[in-house]
Structure 1
Amino acid sequence: MSRKKTKRARRTLTRGNVARPSDTRETVEDLEARLSTAGAPTLPVEAGAIVQVDRKHLKVAEKVFQWRVQGRNQIPSDDHILQLAQVIQRGEQMPPILVFPVGQDYYVMDGHHRLAAYDMASWGKPIPARVFTGNLREAERAALRANNKNKLPFNRDDRTAAAWRLVRQKDPHDSIRSIMEDTGVGKGTVNNMRDVLKKLETAGYSPEEIRASSWNRARQVASRSPEGQEHEDWIEAEAQKLVDAIRNAKLGARLLKYTDITALALAKLSPDLPDALIAEWAPEPEIDLNAPLTPEEEDF
Structure 2
Amino acid sequence: MSALEAKLELEKAIAAGSPPPAEAPRKLLVGSIQQFPEVFQPRGPAGYASNAHVRDLAKAPKGGHALDAITVFWVGSDWAVIDGHHRLQAYGAAGWRDEVPVKVFSGSLDEAMGYAGRLNSGVKMLMSNPEKKALAWRLSTCTKLSKARIVRDSGMSDGFMAGMFRTRTKLLKEKGMSLTDIAGLSWHEAQKRAAGSTTEADTIDRDAWLEEKAQVMANNILKALGKQGQQKHEVLARALEIYDSRLPDSLREFWNDERGEVEFIAEPSDPNSEF
Whether these two folds match at TM > 0.5 is yes
CA–CA separation in structure 1 for the residues paired with 2:82 and 2:208:
30
- Shift in CA distance, 220/228, structure 1 to aligned 2, threshold 3 Å: farther
Alignment-mate amino acid for residue 56 of structure 1: G
Partner in structure 2 of residue 39 of structure 1: 18
Q: What pairs up with 1:87-236 in 2 under 5 angstroms?
A: 87-169=60-142, 171=144, 174-201=145-172, 202-226=174-198, 229-230=201-202, 232=204
3-state SS of paired residue (2:137):
helix
Deviations 1:248-286 (A, max 9, x none): xx5542256433565455444432134213321345279
- Shift in CA distance, 229/256, structure 1 to aligned 2, threshold 3 Å: farther
3-state SS of paired residue (1:53):
strand
3-state SS of paired residue (1:130):
strand
Deviation at 1:142, TM superposition (A): 2.1
Contact 1:98 1:129 in 2 (8 A): yes
Deviation at 1:143, TM superposition (A): 1.6
Alignment-mate amino acid for residue 103 of structure 2: R
**Which deviates more from structure 2 when the two are superposed, residues 224-233 or residues 139-148?**
224-233
- Shift in CA distance, 39/205, structure 1 to aligned 2, threshold 3 Å: same
- Shift in CA distance, 119/104, structure 1 to aligned 2, threshold 3 Å: same
Contact 1:100 1:106 in 2 (8 A): yes
- Shift in CA distance, 231/178, structure 1 to aligned 2, threshold 3 Å: closer
Alignment-mate amino acid for residue 150 of structure 2: I
Deviation at 1:221, TM superposition (A): 1.9
Contact 2:15 2:76 in 1 (8 A): no
Deviations 1:134-178 (A, max 9, x none): 23222222222222334111332232222222222361xx33322
Partner in structure 2 of residue 296 of structure 1: 272
Deviations 1:221-250 (A, max 9, x none): 211235794484588668756866886xx5
Contact 2:156 2:260 in 1 (8 A): no
3-state SS of paired residue (2:66):
coil
Deviation at 1:62, TM superposition (A): 1.2
- Shift in CA distance, 97/267, structure 1 to aligned 2, threshold 3 Å: same
Alignment-mate amino acid for residue 10 of structure 2: L
Deviation at 1:64, TM superposition (A): 1.4
CA–CA separation in structure 2 for the residues paired with 1:238 and 1:135:
34
3-state SS of paired residue (1:99):
strand
Q: What pairs up with 1:5-84 in 2 under 5 angstroms?
A: 27-41=6-20, 43=21, 45=23, 47=24, 50=26, 52-68=27-43, 70-71=44-45, 74-84=47-57
Alignment-mate amino acid for residue 32 of structure 2: H
**Structure (1 or 2) with the larger CA radius of gyration:** 1
**Which deviates more from structure 2 when the two are superposed, residues 134-143 or residues 117-126?**
134-143
Contact 2:114 2:150 in 1 (8 A): no
Alignment-mate amino acid for residue 101 of structure 1: W
Deviation at 1:113, TM superposition (A): 1.0
CA–CA separation in structure 2 for the residues paired with 1:246 and 1:150:
20
**Which deviates more from structure 2 when the two are superposed, residues 188-197 or residues 260-269?**
260-269
TM-score by length of 2: 0.78
Contact 1:220 1:229 in 2 (8 A): no
Identify the match of residue 254 of structure 1 among 224, 236, 250: 224
Alignment-mate amino acid for residue 252 of structure 2: I
Name the Cα RMSD after superposition: 3.4
